[in-house]
Amino acid sequence: MKPSRTIAVLLAGAALLGGCSQADSGDDTPPPVQLKQIAGTDRFEVTLSQQAQERLGIATAPVRQDGSSTTVPYAAVIYDSAGATWAYVPATAPRTYLRRHITVASVDGETAVLSQGPAAGTPVVVVGSAELLGAEAQIAGEE
């Protein structure tokens, strides 16, 4: 995903997550997304309901060590509005994700070579990361 497409993807993700919401029917259905601010940062832990997790089809792939290079699938790379690069990693709680800063040294086709990021073997989100960013940014979806 190129930075110029970030807003369109975020809006699509917000609409998708918006489709997970429930009308206030008085039942105990959990919200599709819960946010918990990470102390001392402007970032949040993003926790999805089971339904939101399934609807988004969240998928991960491990960070790889290829010789002296650390790589991730380019699909794991997301850009914020300032152009900074990030990747979502699973937290310790089920269906909970954290946005981690990464530095992309280069892109070779579908692979991003990192000069800074998670250690080899760490899973990164490759499907659903743009929707997680939209949820974290609290972009409202269409009801």
| Helical residues (DSSP H) of the chain, grouped into ranges | 6-18, 50-56, 129-136
Residue 143 included in any domain: no
Nearest Cα neighbor of 90 from 115, 112, 60 is 60
Q: Given this model, what pLDDT does residue 26 score? A: 62
Residue 142 included in any domain: no
Q: Given this model, what pLDDT does residue 15 score? A: 45
CATH number for the domain harbouring residue 91: 2.40.420.20
Q: Given this model, what pLDDT does residue 69 score? A: 94
Residue 141 included in any domain: no
Q: Given this model, what pLDDT does residue 29 score? A: 81
Residue 24 included in any domain: yes
Tally of domains within the chain? 1
Residue range of the domain that includes 108:
3-136
- 123 CB-near residues (< 8 Å, 6+ apart): 60, 61, 62, 63, 89, 90
> How would you write the pLDDT of the chain (143 residues) with one tens digit per residue?
444 334 434 444 444 455 444 445 566 788 999 999 999 999 999 999 999 999 999 999 999 998 899 999 999 999 998 999 999 999 999 999 999 999 999 999 999 999 999 999 999 999 999 999 999 998 866 33
